[in-house]
Amino acid sequence: MTLLRLSLLTCALALAACGSDPGNTDNNNTNVDAGTSALGTVEKGGACTQDSDCKEMDAKCRAGDVCTGALTEAAFQEECAAGGSADCAGLTCVGLRDNVQSKTGICSMRCEEDADCGTGAACVTISGTNKGCLYVCATDADCLNGFACVADPEGRGKACFVEPV
């Protein structure tokens, strides 16, 4: 997980160094970034066929049919009502067992590897053999909405989740 955090930091620094030049505009006075594709028009939770259909930067077309919205720090730290995916437009509400934080669910999405989860998140075992995306953390202060920084069940590091009772 430390190697993952270092890799993510390196990527973030590289992207920041390659940011767009505000003076680089097209004839409509719209920013144009060389080497980046245009964003689509589909809102978070809307129907899509590929990632580029999604309106938000860093969004994915999950399971080939729904835009996740930007996979940012807050995306995988949203509390939801158990089974209530409507609370997680574009993601899935994962129901939680009794926990110290008294949370009933957390927004996530199925994954196979860390790269599926976007920047700052990792693919971890959430329950049984089900893997989902959670935000990577070092301390509780890194977590939002009352979630805690707990050890990844696979022992690779820590992620914002809940503590068992």
Q: Radius of gyration (Cα) for the chain, nearest Å?
A: 17
pLDDT tens per residue across span 137-155: 999 999 999 999 999 877 8
Query: Could you give the CA distance from residue 90 to residue 45 in angstroms, rounded to a whole number?
Result: 4
Closest by alpha carbon to 101, among 153, 46, 147?
Answer: 147
Query: Could you give the CA distance from residue 119 to residue 82 in angstroms, rounded to a whole number?
Result: 26
The one-letter amino acid code at 59 reads A
Burial grade of 159 (CB within 10 A; 0-12, 13-18, 19 or more): buried
Report strand pairing: 130-135 vs 121-127.
antiparallel
Task: Judge whether 93 and 76 are in contact, CB under 8 Å.
Answer: no
Q: Of all helices (H) and strands (E), which one includes residue 5?
A: helix 2-17
Query: Could you give the CA distance from residue 117 to residue 123 in angstroms, rounded to a whole number?
Result: 7
The token duo for 113 is: 């590897």
Extents of the domains making up the chain = 2-12+75-161
∠ CA(129), CA(107), CA(146), 5° rounding? 110
Q: Report the percentage of the chain scoring pLDDT > 70.
A: 73
Confidence of residue 130 (pLDDT cuts 50, 70, 90): confident
Residues facing residue 135 across a β-bridge: 121
pLDDT tens per residue across span 60-112: 888 768 898 888 888 899 999 866 667 787 888 888 889 999 999 999 988 99
Place of tokens 């978070």: 44
